[in-house]
Amino acid sequence: MKLSKYLVAIDIGNTNVTIGLFQRGVNRPLQHAHFLTQKGITHDDWMVRYEVLRHRWKLKSGEKEDIVIASVVPEVNYEMGHLFEKYYGRFPRFLQSQDIPLGIHYDFPREIGIDRLVNVYAVAKEYPCRDAIVVDFGTATTIDILSEGKVYEGGVIIPGMMTSLRALTERASKLPHIDLSLPSTIVTKNTIDGIRSGVLYGHGAMIDELVRRIVAELHWEKPLVIATGGLAKVVKQASTLIEVVDTHLMLKGIYYLWMDHG
DSSP at 41: -
Q: Across the chain, where does the E strand assignment appear?
A: 6-12, 16-23, 31-36, 66-71, 93-94, 103-104, 132-137, 140-147, 151-159, 224-228, 244-245
Q: Which of 11, 115, 136, 144 is catalytic?
A: 115
193 has catalytic annotation: no
Residue 178 near residue 196 (C-beta atoms within 8 A): yes
* C-alpha to C-alpha distances, 86 to 21, 25, 69, 71, 82, nearest whole angstrom: 21, 29, 17, 20, 6
Question: How much helix, strand and coil, in percent to the nearest 5, is found in the chain?
Answer: 40, 25, 35
Maximal CA-CA distance, the chain: 60
Residue 256 near residue 249 (C-beta atoms within 8 A): no
Residue 74 near residue 123 (C-beta atoms within 8 A): no
Q: Across 114-240, where does the E strand assignment appear?
A: 132-137, 140-147, 151-159, 224-228
Q: What is the DSSP string of 75-103?
A: HHHHHHHHHHHHHHS-PPEEP-GGGS-SE
Catalytic amino acids? 115
